[in-house]
Amino acid sequence: MPETATRAQRVLRHPLLWPVMALVVLLLVNVVAKPSFLDVRMQDGHLYGNLIDIMRNSAPVMLVALGMTLVIATRGIDLSVGAIAAIAAAVACTRIIGAGDEAALSTAVMAMTYAVVVCIVLGAWNGLLVSVLGIQPIIATLILMVAGRGISMAITDGQITTVNNPFFSDLASGFVLTLPLAFLVAVAMVLFTAVLTRRTALGMLIEAVGINPEASRLAGVRARTIIWTVYAFSGLCAGLAGLVIAANTNSVNANSLGLWIELDAILAVVIGGTSLMGGRFSLAGTFVGALFIATLARTIPNIGIPSEVNYLFKAVVVIAVCLLQSPKARALLRVRRSAAPTLAKAGSPA
């Protein structure tokens, strides 16, 4: 008996409990509104259904949030990801159009590689401002956030550029092993990062930098290199997300591509339980957070509310999550609970 009690306690205290519960509740709401919501059927060798759509649509936010998680773990923030996504899409699309054979596989691969390299450079630029010049992350990345859309428009010459390359559009609409390719790419990136950070010391070093950059430097951690790397990685992730979004419509609109994706990504990170104060991060939490946001976007039209009202629900989620994480709000809650002693034990979720 005591062992089961501790196991129950461990489950209750698991940091992933709340994000997963929120996701489950959201799915339940959908099922109540429309019982066939969870149905998945096989057609032409692919899976189809709302759940599959949610997976596919979650890919861009998941990618951006992945990079954002590591940046936030170092006590930073990257506001420029939306602009970087727009630049990646613009670079890739103009490269595809400019190539000799527009529909060839090599064209798509070359264009995407080129775009991703550009994005890593842009991310490294953010890292330079933050780690070498010591500018606050929110301001350093604000610069590229402002200028980035202009740069993206300069690349596409202010036009909405449409491309015609089946391999490029497969990135968003293709299927591998019956699942959407975009989702698999995002999951592969998450797994790769998880192995890299949790099976080596890198994750711990990133957290050390987030807790106290100066102390970690004195302890022999190369804080500057690590900060530089996480921003470059965030640029890479944002670039991949931009490619997925552009491939989905086979076009790039520099004005609207990836607009506010930085806010969605931060929201996904926060829902996943990564503290904005830095010093600890949860990639699994971010994964669930991104799925939550994609599910929310699907839920609202499903229960018969105009999809634009999405923003209102996101506002409620932001406030609720932040209040749950805020020590002061928790203290307030605890005072209430201690008034009812039978409930006192249920308090203090991790």
Interacting residue ranges for other proteins, rule: CB under 8 A? 77, 133-136, 138-140, 142-151, 153-154, 157-158, 254, 259, 263, 266-267, 270, 276, 306, 308-315, 318-319, 322-323, 326-329
Q: In terms of CB distance, is 5 or 133 closer to other proteins?
A: 133
Strand partners, 252: 161
| Secondary structure of the chain in HEC code, one letter for each residue | CHHHHHHHHHHHHCCCHHHHHHHHHHHHHHHHHCHHHHCEEEECCEEEEHHHHHHHHHHHHHHHHHHHHHHHHCCCCCCCHHHHHHHHHHHHHHHHHHCCCCCCHHHHHHHHHHHHHHHHHHHHHHHHHHHHCCCCHHHHHHHHHHHHHHHHHHHHCCCCEECCCHHHHHHHHCEECCEEHHHHHHHHHHHHHHHHHHCCCHHHHHHHHHHCHHHHHHCCCCHHHHHHHHHHHHHHHHHHHHHHHHHHHCEECCCCCCCCHHHHHHHHHHHCCCCCCCCCCCHHHHHHHHHHHHHHHHHHHHCCCCHHHHHHHHHHHHHHHHHHHCHHHHHHHHHHHHHCHHHHHHCCCC
Q: How far is the CB of 75 from other proteins (least distance, A)?
A: 11
Phi, psi of 123 (to 5 degrees): -65, -40
How buried is 104 (Cβ within 10 angstroms: 0-12 exposed, 13-18 middle, 19+ buried)? middle
Give the span between the Cα atoms of 309 and 302, in whole angstroms: 12
C-alpha–C-alpha distance, residues 281 and 274, integer Å: 5
Measured CA distances, 324 to 41, 68, 340, 350 (Å): 38, 21, 20, 10
Query: In the bound complex, what is the minimum distance in angstroms from residue 17's beta carbon to other proteins?
Result: 22
CB of 63 to other proteins, least distance (A): 20
The smaller minimum CB distance to other proteins, of residues 152 and 165, is found at 152
Given the complex with other proteins, which of 162 and 255 has the nearer CB atom? 255
> Tokens at residue 118, please?
């550009």
User: Measured from the CB atom, is 201 or 329 closer to other proteins?
Assistant: 329
State the minimum distance, in angstroms, from the CB of residue 314 to other proteins. 4
Nearer residue to other proteins within complex by CB, 108 or 129: 129
CB of 44 to other proteins, least distance (A): 35
108 or 238, CB closer to other proteins?
Answer: 238
CB of 210 to other proteins, least distance (A): 15
Nearer to other proteins, 86 or 208 (CB): 86
Residue 258 CB, nearest distance to other proteins (Å)? 13
Structure tokens at 161: 């550029």
Smallest distance from other proteins to CB 155, Å: 10
Residue closer to other proteins (CB basis): 191 or 332: 332
Closest CB to other proteins among 192 and 311? 311
Q: How far is the CB of 151 from other proteins (least distance, A)?
A: 6
Residue with the two structure tokens 């070498």: 132
